[in-house]
Copies of this chain bind each other. A is one copy, B any other.
């Protein structure tokens, strides 16, 4: 039933025109991988859901893309090849530490009677090393960055990447950190034009449908031999673990990483069918600038190895 919903979604929401380009990039990237290198798909950022066909308004998920960008970086450093599927303009691995408007990168320098704008001295080292690392990883085919914006783009790209990774069998890892909309307005129910407000209209009733649960489909059909890790973000700690367990049960995959919006940078729970393991950063870790993604990624790589030994 759920898989039928997923299939129908792809019929009702045609592929974006960019799909074949993404498909080619993924194929080339996978072909270039040496035999011994594992490949991880890291998804990051939030998906956008339009409210009208001629889109004026949309529903979005809060995510700067920190978790995904940091994790992609640690996977690269650990020797994985990373396909990074990220929300356009969200944070990217290696160059994620500068967040302000780009104008803040520069300062004015007077040269004789004229002046020119140059990179701030305090940022030069960060800029050099981060751009260098990004280029290095891309050049040696260890990192492929693919941007999306809409929910439909995200899902079509996910399908295509999963199909591309199938040939790697258990060498593939899915690390699904993107904040994907649970609800959307199906194309056939969507208003053609901007939804009207106006005098006398005292409310707007929006009826949204659940987005099909693609994770089940991913586990069953697209990537049956890969290790699949999903994330669960909640704001209410009373339901966090229960929701994570329900997801594991429903999708039959291996691991849910559960976290709360307010504490997500220092605490996460690894939820597997019969246990929960909490991972907390210590005060010392925080003081030393350790990022929790460093630990999360090490733990995932360990699991990936163990799975492939058994």
Residues on A facing B (Cβ under 8 Å) = 51-52, 54-62, 89, 92, 95, 98, 101-103, 105-106, 108, 115-119, 124, 127-128, 131-132, 134-135, 179, 181-183, 192-194, 196-199, 201-210, 233-236, 239, 243, 246, 250, 261-262
Contacts and interface: CB of A to CB of B under 8 A. Distances in A.
24 contacts: A51-B59, A54-B235, A54-B236, A54-B262, A56-B61, A56-B233, A57-B61, A57-B62, A92-B103, A102-B105, A106-B127, A106-B131, A117-B127, A117-B131, A117-B132, A182-B204, A183-B197, A192-B235, A201-B210, A202-B209, A203-B208, A203-B210, A206-B207, A206-B208
Nearest to A262: B54
A158 B211 CA distance: 37
- In order of increasing CB-CB distance, the 7 nearest A-B pairs are A54-B235, A182-B197, A102-B102, A206-B206, A193-B236, A204-B208, A193-B235
A266 B118 CA distance: 35
Main secondary structure of the interface of A (DSSP, over half): mixed
A210 B204 CA distance: 8
B193 A202 contact: no
Copies assembled: 2
A298 to B, nearest CB: 27
Contacts of A197: 182-183, 210
Contact of A103 (B57, B115, B131, B183): B131
A125 to B, nearest CB: 10
A119 B205 CA distance: 50
Nearest to A211: B197
Nearest to A147: B101
Given A92-B101, A194-B236, A198-B246, 9 more contacts: A54-B236, A56-B179, A89-B101, A102-B102, A108-B131, A193-B236, A194-B234, A198-B243, A205-B207
Contact of A207 (B127, B203, B209): B203
